[in-house]
Amino acid sequence: MDTNYRSFFETLGLPRLQVHHPINHFDFTRPGRIILVVGPMGSGKTGFAAQIWRDSRIALQKDDSVDRWTCTNGADLRNVFFIRSRLDKRRFTEYPADALAYRGGYEIVGKAIANIDSSFELEAVIEDHPDVGTWVIDEASFYDERIAYVIRRLVVERGLVFVLPTLILNFRNALFNATTSLLLEVARDVFPLTAYCEHPACLTDSSYTYRYYLVDGEECPALYFDPLIIVGGDQKHADGRRPNYGTRCGDHHVLPGKDYTYLVLKPLGEQAAAGEPADLTRELKLLRDEASRSRLGLWLAEHNAGDDEQNRLSRNALRVPCLAERALVYLFAEQNLISELLLREIVLDLDLDVDFLTQRLADNRRPVRFT
């Protein structure tokens, strides 16, 4: 912000007037930047991107003399282009293909939008549009790690500007993935956005992603060891197998089973990795047949016995279907603790849900065929 403008308010002599950070229009005169726009679902990340588009419409109407501030190596930063994932195309079927849709509206951006699957396709699209200086990549964390270096190279070599509206935390409140941490390393500016907590009794600003299931209409939070990635979580699902997401503040973000995962489940996986799978198999069998008697069930009964909402919801986590399958996906795909051979033995031995496992293992890039 213009410091004169700011000090104007500060010198008005109104002692209790608090001057907040300004909400600026996009700066098309500073090349070579990577700008992260981070926040949970519903925080207005795409709305932020749409504002950059509207700002560019105004900036492009200026006369040719501004070129010297906005051009870099043949590209004009006022030319804005949007990149989104091919998977996302399905999300916006009610809008035209050239629309940038966000909650509350959309912008028609014509040819300035493309759908890609990988960092290689990103490079190809950028090469095809040498005059574009500002690239907005929706959910950059969802791509391969290579994308961070593709972006950094183009920033260094050509002075392009990248705006990356993305989730950076997963449902466990940890950095979303390896791509996220690389993007944080290469970025220069961060705009954090928040959303209202979706809990009906709360108006706090929040930034956590809450994953839960609906079982017989009841809210059941995902356990800590739930599969990290579950593809296709946009619509509301009431079948208990596919998750729902909400944005919650710290007080209303329920994530049961973290202690259990590290105190019990992972050590059982390590024991199995060392050739002693009997205890793990016993726990998985209980998770399948009688979860309340499993070590997870006993843990929750002991540590979440209270009548308040947090404890009641934590106990509900036991009602989510396929608990044994979820534990196996965690140990196999995420922790690399059990071999594919042992996985197959346990699945056969306990007659686990092969459809569920096939899908979740593919989501987490460790596909296994059971038939």
Q: How far apart are CA 166 and CA 160, in angstroms?
A: 19
Binding residue count for Zn ion, defined by CB under 5 A: 6
Q: Mark the segment that binds Zn ion (CB under 5 A) among 76-84, 148-156, 190-198, 280-288.
A: 190-198
Q: Give me the least distance between CB of 236 and Zn ion, in Å please.
A: 20
Q: Mark the segment that binds Zn ion (CB under 5 A) among 97-105, 178-186, 204-212, 309-317.
A: 204-212
Give the nearer residue to Zn ion in terms of CB position, either 172 or 326: 172
For residue 260 the two structure tokens come to: 């259990």
Question: Residues 45, 199, 288, 326: which binds Zn ion (CB under 5 A)?
Answer: 199
Would you give the binding string for Zn ion spanning residues 246-285, x where CB under 5 A is met? ---x--x---------------------------------
Question: Residues 49, 197, 322, 347: which binds Zn ion (CB under 5 A)?
Answer: 197
Give the nearer residue to Zn ion in terms of CB position, either 197 or 317: 197
Q: Mark the segment that binds Zn ion (CB under 5 A) among 48-56, 116-124, 174-182, 191-199.
A: 191-199
Q: Give me the least distance between CB of 206 and Zn ion, in Å please.
A: 6
Q: Give me the least distance between CB of 274 and Zn ion, in Å please.
A: 43
Give the nearer residue to Zn ion in terms of CB position, either 87 or 202: 202
Q: Mark the segment that binds Zn ion (CB under 5 A) among 28-36, 145-153, 241-249, 268-276.
A: 241-249
Give the nearer residue to Zn ion in terms of CB position, either 73 or 204: 204
Give the nearer residue to Zn ion in terms of CB position, either 203 or 341: 203
Give the nearer residue to Zn ion in terms of CB position, either 252 or 360: 252
**CA dist 37 to 46, 144, 355, Å?**
9, 19, 37
**CA dist 166 to 46, 47, 156, Å?**
9, 12, 22
Query: For the chain, how many residues are written?
Result: 371
Q: How far apart are CA 271 and CA 274, in angstroms?
A: 5
Which residues are at the interface with Zn ion (CB under 5 A)? 197, 199, 202, 204, 249, 252
